[in-house]
Amino acid sequence: MEMRSRDENIAMLSEKLDERQLRKVITQGYSDVSLSLMAGSISYSAKRIVNSLYSAATVNKLTEALKTDKIDTDDFWRIMEYAGFHNTNEKYVDDFLDSIDKGIYHRCASDLFTALQYEDMTYNEALAYVKSGAFYPTEYASVTVTDEVAKELFDMGVQLRGCSGFNYYYDVGNIKQSLDDHDAIFVADRDLAVKVNEYMKLPDWHSFKDYVTHFMARDMDQLTGNKLDELRVRFTTEKNMELLYNKVKQEYDRFIEDLHSKPVDDIIKSAYEIVSKDNIVSFCEYQTPGLSEKQYNALLSSSNTLDEVYEVWRDNGEWHGLEDIGLALEETADKIQVSIERKVQEQIKQPEIKQYEAKKNKSL
């Protein structure tokens, strides 16, 4: 960009602009960088800058970013193209430029900044959506769902909107056709797309997706990101509870089988244990206690979960009803977890102990 004096710029611009435009250039506080850019541009481009709805301060920030190569020429003129119709994104210009300083690719940042002329969100919100991997900014000033997430949302029965070109919107009825046409895809709840993008990377995604579509049935239009999180907890809990039931049932069957080989007196003495373990198994079959995934994992990691739960149950003199079995499961899980964490700490400290002993022996 060739820099000139203010007087030179004004003289050149007087031949490109009408009286109203020239008055704006002279009085609104445009920097020498902005004036030099306008003066060195063709008449149409100079007028595009002057006629933009941006304040001179914002134009100055953008021309300075262009001069210092923070953005390139294509970025600048694409931003100015839409600034002639709206200035909704003007309040985010600092966030936009700061994001480039923090490593966001300038083309992505400028596309995102331009999209905020029409998207109802802040720049940092839009950037977070893009960083999630569920969205990307298009060349037509919009933030669209990625192809992979759009396919999953459509397969789930979530209503999507498509946009062909700049302003032709429609309800998506054929996702393959929409994506083949490179149309922008929109979803009402952006957080839902973020969550789908997150969960679809898990190994049990397809099972979970089937669970969601079955649970929501005809109410899929009410599915939100928060609702998907709730269903994920419910799905995981039910799956873990099924695994836990199958585990304790197998352990109970082995326990009963072993009793058959023992004398009758031993069986009679084991009556309380038999009844208690049978109740524990029944509880696991028909109830779903509110344990965390960490607690379920602890119970499932035990070599004999039923024995451990029974011991905790037996040692507590205040538990009597079936509803208390849930407390026994929770306490057992916490007990196992403490044991696991202790072993991990010991494994971490073991090299240090060996190193200390080696040094000690060497000194002797």
Give the tens place of pLDDT for each residue, 278-327: 999 999 999 888 899 899 999 999 999 999 999 999 988 787 778 889 99
Whether residue 352 is predicted with pLDDT greater than 60 in this model: the reply is: no
Residue-level pLDDT at 363: 58
The model's pTM is 0.79
Those residues with Cβ within 8 angstroms of residue 310's Cβ, 6 or more apart along the chain or in another chain: 273, 276, 277, 280
DSSP labels, 296-315: HHHHHHSS-HHHHHHHHHHH
Residue-level pLDDT at 102: 95
Whether residue 251 is predicted with pLDDT greater than 80 in this model: the reply is: yes
Residue-level pLDDT at 76: 96
Across residues 174-202, what is the average pLDDT?
A: 95
3-state class of 160 per DSSP? strand
190 φ/ψ angles, rounded to the nearest 5 degrees: -65, -35
The DSSP symbol for 262 reads S
